[in-house]
Chains A and B, each alone.
Chain A
Amino acid sequence: MAADTPTGYIKHHLTNLTYGEVPAGTPVCDSHGELTGETFQQASWILARCDAQVDAMGFWAFHVDSLAWSGIMGFLFVVVASMVARRASAGVPSGMLNFVEMVVEFVDTSVRDSFHGKSKLIAPLALTIFCWIFMMSSIKLLPVDTASAIAAALGLGYMKIVPTVDPNITLAMSFSVLGLVIAFSIMSKGVGGFFGELAFHPFEAQGITKFLLVPVNLILEVVALLAKPVSLGLRLFGNMFAGEFVFILLAAMMGYWQFVGSVPWAIFHLLVIPLQSFIFMILTIVYLSMASEHH
């Protein structure tokens, strides 16, 4: 495999398990990622095993590991929470129930503090975002080689288990938030109100000048609207990517001595992971609160 040099090792650990269509002429790799010298005779859908195949797949390919691990973490959260909810009683809470109640109460307080309006969607949405991002990012506390070693034993070429290190996942979440922001704006102000806010908002005037200012306003407001989800998604991705990169770098440079550096870094990440999940959640609430306010 190409993981012998530090650069190759880092590149290998930062590549997703990709499922996509390779065009004819792409080299064939065996289960160890070595080129066999043959090429595909026709275009076919495969799981990539070496860098040449990942590059050949281009844009329209699935990151199977990100999809699977985010799904698994979401499912785990739903199972644990519903089990706890079923056993909930009015008596003294214990163990897991206590913990889940604490998390729910914490999210509920944050929503009450930041969202000035009435909505049945906000609190569950905030809880989902917080817990899901927290669980997805927490996988990175596993030693970096665990997953790729298991995957290699199963014959898979790549396995990048932390879904939040994949910008596709974080940007998908933040653009879903953008969709909700637009939906909330339209629900509270109507279609006319929403577009009116985009077209007439920062620079206001009376009469005919009002319409002359529309292009300037439109550019400013659309950029401001799009900057929100982009910064939201990239902030989470940047933090998680840099964290994961340092773990992989330590593993590549220091071998078995990596724990000297990676244990303090992991302890630091015990702070970073909840903080970033909390920021994603609180900014979502603030954006939705701004969207549903009347002017």
Chain B
Amino acid sequence: MELNLLAAAIVAGLAAIGAGLGFGLMGGRFLESVARQPELAPMLQTRMFIIAGLLDAVPIMCIAIAFLMIFQ
């Protein structure tokens, strides 16, 4: 078996764990805040999307690196 496949699998798996935890925390906190103060929902939603964009950058770079490991 080629080790680069294993490496890519580890990278992609860890990225998925991180992204899942991050999005779960973010979405949960967002719902909590909206439940507490529903009138702030539109403002919080914009901010949540900003943080979503910041958050998904890291795992998606891991995915790019994993692709590179497979196809280089």
Contacts and interface: CB of A to CB of B under 8 A. Distances in A.
Contact of B57 (A11, A235, A249, A278): A235
Most chain B CB atoms below 10 A, which of A234, A242, A278, A282: A242
A119 to B, nearest CB: 22
Contacts of B64: 238, 241-242, 245
Interface in B5-61: 49-50, 52-54, 56-57, 60-61
Contact of A275 (B53, B61, B63, B67): B53
A174 interface: no
Given A10-B71, A249-B67, A276 B53 contact: yes
B50 to A, nearest CB: 6
Contacts of B67: 242, 245, 249
Most chain B CB atoms below 10 A, which of A234, A238, A239, A279: A238
Contact of B53 (A7, A242, A245, A278): A278
A242 B53 CA distance: 14
A278 B50 contact: yes
Is chain A's interface secondary structure helix, strand, loop, or mixed overall? helix
Contacts of A235: 54, 57, 61
Is chain B's interface secondary structure helix, strand, loop, or mixed overall? helix
A117 B20 CA distance: 37
A284 B71 CA distance: 34
Contacts of A239: 56-57, 60-61
A279 B50 contact: yes
A282 to B, nearest CB: 6
Interface residues of A, number: 17
Contacts of A238: 57, 60-61, 64
Given A235-B54, A278-B53, A279-B50, A242 B61 contact: yes
A23 B56 CA distance: 42
Interface in A1-24: 6-7, 10-11
Contacts of B57: 234-235, 238-239
Nearest to A271: B49
B60 A242 contact: yes
Contacts of B49: 275
Most chain B CB atoms below 10 A, which of A7, A235, A276: A235
A279 B60 contact: no
Given A242-B60, A242-B61, A245-B64, A282 B50 contact: yes
Interface of B: 49-50, 52-54, 56-57, 60-61, 63-64, 67, 71
Interface of A: 6-7, 10-11, 234-235, 238-239, 241-242, 245, 249, 275-276, 278-279, 282
20 contacts: A6-B71, A10-B71, A234-B57, A234-B61, A235-B54, A235-B57, A235-B61, A238-B57, A238-B64, A239-B61, A242-B60, A242-B63, A242-B67, A245-B64, A275-B49, A276-B53, A278-B50, A278-B53, A279-B50, A279-B53
